[in-house]
Amino acid sequence: MKITYGELLRKVCQFANVLRNHGVKKGDRISIYLPMILELVIAMLACARIGAIHSVVFAGFSADSLCERILDCGCSLLITADAFYRGDKLVNLKQIADEALQKSKDKGFPLKKCIVVKHLGREEVAADGACSQSPPLKRLCQDVQEKKTESSQRLHPKIPWDPRMDVWWQDLMSGASTECEPEWCDSEDELFILYTSGSTGKPKGVLHTVGGYMLYAATSFKYVFDYQPEDVYWCTADIGWITGHSYITYGPLANGATSVLFEGIPTYPDAGRMWSIIDKYKVTKFYTAPTAIRLLMKCGEEPVKKHSRKSLKVLGTVGEPINPEAWLWYYRVVGEERCPIVDTFWQTETGGHMLTPLPAATPMKPGSATFPFFGVVPAIMNESGEELEGEAEGYLVFKQPWPGIMRTLYGNHQQFETTYFKKFPGYYVTGDGCRRDKDGYYWITGRIDDMLNVSGHLLSTAEVESALLGHGAVSEAAVVSHPHPLKGECLYCFVTLKDGHDFTKNLADELKKQVREKIGPIATPDYIQYAPSLPKTRSGKITRRILRKIAQNDRDLGDISTLVNPGIINQLFNDRCDTKL
């Protein structure tokens, strides 16, 4: 399926009119809960056209997470879809959305409208490969989820429907005009809110504005991928995360790029899917995440080599530190030692790339995000707030603002100041550790706050702990990050139980389910260990530093003299989960 820029404009105008007809005005918030389909891009741009603020919620999030985000931004309507396939798994999105709307109603915030894209129920459209025709038209190609061949194998879910509230996207669009006068906005007007995990456990609504964000997304896209008019660009991220906002929707479209939008997953129907799409659309610039690279690396070279990657010119990665082994595989096997790799370090909060090589211009070192992008001034600080010079390791901070920096946390400017600017006054604090080598290259060493990075997605340990505590059997919970060969990090949970409960495999499964339901499948714990009690300091703080060591079976514990109950440590070591539950 393909769409030209002209068609996209008309659809955006139509949907902008639909929103206006529903009374949406400049500054109103709109929640969007959609899979990777064209309507997601159309909905975002329609909001931007009329000055409404979009809040895209990743379609892998649970009803609770969606409800929390709806309440936090106080949106006036929700846009979702009937259902979709993730690989061969059916996700009944409307049902999850309905649960979220019910929860939000129960909490005193009833929404009046829910616009539903008929996606699974629409006439099936085949991916037509048209994007490989020449001369290339400027367009966005959507590679639709491969459909199972036998229609009898496909489930057709019953879509829950409330006619007072629900309305089909397609019905609204068919009557809407294709012309829509844009709302004039100031460069500092709000463009969108995107929630990211916060160390308090409550997601933070990162707010980006019209001028600075778009300028930064567009400029960094152009230079970091060395985008040229004949390029075909593909970013595999989900638009529910910042990478999709900046490098699927805003950056490429602002540059008039030809780009691929992919609804599927890398391993379905087989591990060659990415490479077959690269060949099919003759992709030249390809942007993915270390977790996907590690997953595909495990499947060996054969699925890669089966497909031509001759079109490729630049490879990118984002989301977490890439281990040199995965970097080298990406470089040698995927890029045939021909394509520079841009390892781009940045955050939801930064709007766009902060540390990154420029392809073919920056000599690369596998695993290093190399140097700052134009206008970015990094520094490394020690605990007492001194800037370190030369070879050094410490906190990564930025010394001056850049156009794409977030402007606030929605509804909580004070938390914005405390989280990012309080630790080292005058500096923006990333929350990441970093090392600078003797040649001045920057190497991200990972998060140094209570956050962990699972498959490139940030989660807060507090958020998972509060989900575990929501289970009636749990009295205390402590969650730490644990290395994982594919996901980078995974969750290792320690739980203390209330009297009268026994720790069984059943209970562990229930707890995992609880976390999935509260947060979403990405937060599913890999390990749950029973702890008769948790190591604590005299002031009652759980020492997660020690629990991390126990999870990793590392007996080099350092100073444990501040603990009130050092006796528990041995027992926790003996009861470690060595195998997955």
Binding site for ligand WTA (CB under 6 A): 196, 241-243, 318-321, 343-348, 369, 430-432, 444, 447, 453, 458
Which residues are 476's β-sheet partners?
Answer: 496
Distance CA 396, CA 563 (A): 30
Two structure tokens written together for 292 = 């996907």
Which residue's CB is nearer to ligand WTA, number 445 or number 537?
445
Distance CA 41, CA 52 (A): 14
Instruction: Please report how close the Cβ of residue 264 comes to ligand WTA at its closest, in angstroms.
Output: 21
Q: Which class for 147: exposed (0-12), middle (13-18), buried (19 or more C-beta within 10 A)?
A: middle
Instruction: Please report how close the Cβ of residue 518 comes to ligand WTA at its closest, in angstroms.
Output: 19
Which residue's CB is nearer to ligand WTA, number 26 or number 399?
399
Which residue's CB is nearer to ligand WTA, number 318 or number 523?
318
Instruction: Please report how close the Cβ of residue 576 comes to ligand WTA at its closest, in angstroms.
Output: 27
Are 160 and 94 within 8 A, CB to CB? yes
Which residue's CB is nearer to ligand WTA, number 160 or number 401?
401
Instruction: Please report how close the Cβ of residue 117 comes to ligand WTA at its closest, in angstroms.
Output: 25
Single-letter code of the amino acid located at 41:
V
Instruction: Please report how close the Cβ of residue 369 comes to ligand WTA at its closest, in angstroms.
Output: 5
DSSP symbol at 355: B
**Could you tell me which of 468, 515, 518, 525 has the C-alpha nearest to residue 496?**
468
Which residue's CB is nearer to ligand WTA, number 16 or number 293?
293
Assign residue 553 a region: left if phi > 0, alpha if psi is -120 to 50, beta otherwise?
A: left
Instruction: Please report how close the Cβ of residue 290 comes to ligand WTA at its closest, in angstroms.
Output: 8
Which residue's CB is nearer to ligand WTA, number 84 or number 346?
346
Which residue's CB is nearer to ligand WTA, number 127 or number 369?
369
Which residue's CB is nearer to ligand WTA, number 72 or number 343?
343
Which residue's CB is nearer to ligand WTA, number 406 or number 546?
406
* DSSP run (H or E) holding 451: strand 451-454
Query: Would the CA dihedral through 339, 343, 349, 354 be positive or negative?
Result: negative
Which residue's CB is nearer to ligand WTA, number 292 or number 495?
292
Which residue's CB is nearer to ligand WTA, number 51 or number 319?
319
Instruction: Please report how close the Cβ of residue 275 comes to ligand WTA at its closest, in angstroms.
Output: 22
Query: Would the CA dihedral through 190, 193, 196, 200 be positive or negative?
Result: positive
Are 447 and 199 within 8 A, CB to CB? no
Work out whether strand 442-447 and strand 408-409 pair parallel, antiparallel, or are unpaired. Answer: unpaired
Which residue's CB is nearer to ligand WTA, number 445 or number 475?
445
Find where tokens 């409550």 sit. Answer: 202
Which residue's CB is nearer to ligand WTA, number 444 or number 478?
444
Instruction: Please report how close the Cβ of residue 345 comes to ligand WTA at its closest, in angstroms.
Output: 4
**Could you tell me which of 56, 6, 14, 50 has the C-alpha nearest to residue 35?**
56
**DSSP-derived 3-state class of residue 430:** strand
**DSSP-derived 3-state class of residue 569:** helix
Our CA angle for 322, 326, 330, nearest 5°, is 110
Work out the end-to-end distance of the chain between its first and last CA atoms, rounded to an integer number of angstroms.
42
Are 59 and 35 within 8 A, CB to CB? yes
Instruction: Please report how close the Cβ of residue 423 comes to ligand WTA at its closest, in angstroms.
Output: 15
Instruction: Please report how close the Cβ of residue 468 comes to ligand WTA at its closest, in angstroms.
Output: 23
E strand intervals along 43-186: 53-56, 77-81, 84-86, 89-91, 113-117, 139-143, 166-168
Our CA angle for 441, 447, 448, nearest 5°, is 105
- Which residues lie below 8 Å from residue 133, measured CB to CB, with a gap of 6+? none
**DSSP-derived 3-state class of residue 289:** coil
Instruction: Please report how close the Cβ of residue 347 comes to ligand WTA at its closest, in angstroms.
Output: 4
Are 456 and 449 within 8 A, CB to CB? no
Are 131 and 260 within 8 A, CB to CB? yes
Instruction: Please report how close the Cβ of residue 499 comes to ligand WTA at its closest, in angstroms.
Output: 40
Are 339 and 357 within 8 A, CB to CB? no
- Residue 438 CB neighbour total at 10 angstroms: 7
* DSSP run (H or E) holding 517: helix 505-518
Instruction: Please report how close the Cβ of residue 445 comes to ligand WTA at its closest, in angstroms.
Output: 9
Instruction: Please report how close the Cβ of residue 243 comes to ligand WTA at its closest, in angstroms.
Output: 5
Which residue's CB is nearer to ligand WTA, number 458 or number 523?
458
What are the φ and ψ backbone dihedral angles of 537, each rounded to 5 degrees?
-85, 175
